[in-house]
Amino acid sequence: MEASIHIGLAILLAIACLMILKRFLPLIAWGIIIGVACYPAFLQFQSALGGRGGLAAVLCTIILLAVLIIPVVLLAQSLVEGVQTLTAHMKDGTLAIPAPPDSVAGWPIIGAPLYSLWKSASENLSDVVLRFAPQIKSVLPEVLSATAGLGLTVVEFLLSILVAGGLLANAEAATQAARSMFRRIFDKKGPEYHQLVSSTIRSVTSGILGVAIIQTVCAGLGFLVARLPGAGL
Model confidence at 216: pLDDT above 90:
no
Between CA 182 and CA 186 the distance in angstroms is: 6
pLDDT band at 50 (very low <50, low <70, confident <90, very high): confident
| Residue 42, in any domain of the structure | yes
Going by C-alpha positions, the residue among 131, 83, 90 that lies closest to residue 230 is 83
Give 160's pLDDT tier (boundaries 50, 70, 90).
Answer: very high
Tell me if 71 sits within 8 A of 65, measured CB to CB: no
Which pLDDT does position 31 carry in this prediction?
92
What confidence score (pLDDT) does residue 232 get?
67
At residue 159, the pLDDT reads: 92
User: Looking at residues 161-181, what average pLDDT do you find?
Assistant: 90
When divided into structural domains, the chain yields a total of: 1
pLDDT digit string, tens, across residues 99-136: 888 788 788 888 888 888 888 888 777 777 778 788 87
DSSP 110: T
The size of the chain, in residues, is: 233
Residue 197 lies in a domain: no
**Residue range(s) defining the domain that contains residue 116:** 27-169
Could you tell me what percent of the chain has a pLDDT over 90? Answer: 17
- The mean pLDDT value of the chain amounts to 85
Task: Please determine, for residue 158, whether its predicted confidence score (pLDDT) is greater than 70.
Answer: yes
Q: Give the separation between CA 153 and CA 176, rounded to whole angstroms.
A: 31
Average of pLDDT values for 141-167?
Answer: 87
Q: Domain for residue 132, yes or no?
A: yes
In a domain, 102, yes or no: yes
pLDDT at 230 over 70: no
61 within some domain:
yes
CA distances from 121 to 118, 126, 228 (A): 5, 8, 18
What pLDDT is stored for residue 93 in this prediction? Answer: 66
111 inside domain: yes
pLDDT for residue 161 is more than 80: yes
State the average pLDDT over residues 129-150: 81
**3-state DSSP helix/strand/coil percent for the chain, to nearest 5?**
90, 0, 10
Residue 14 lies in a domain: no
| Cβ contacts of 233 within 8 Å, gap of 6 or more | 75, 78, 79
Residue 123 counted as domain residue: yes
> What's the average model confidence in pLDDT over 26-34?
90
pTM recorded for the entire structure: 0.70
Cβ atoms of 157 and 65 within 8 Å: the answer is no
pLDDT of residue 60: 92
Does 88 score more than 90 pLDDT?
A: no
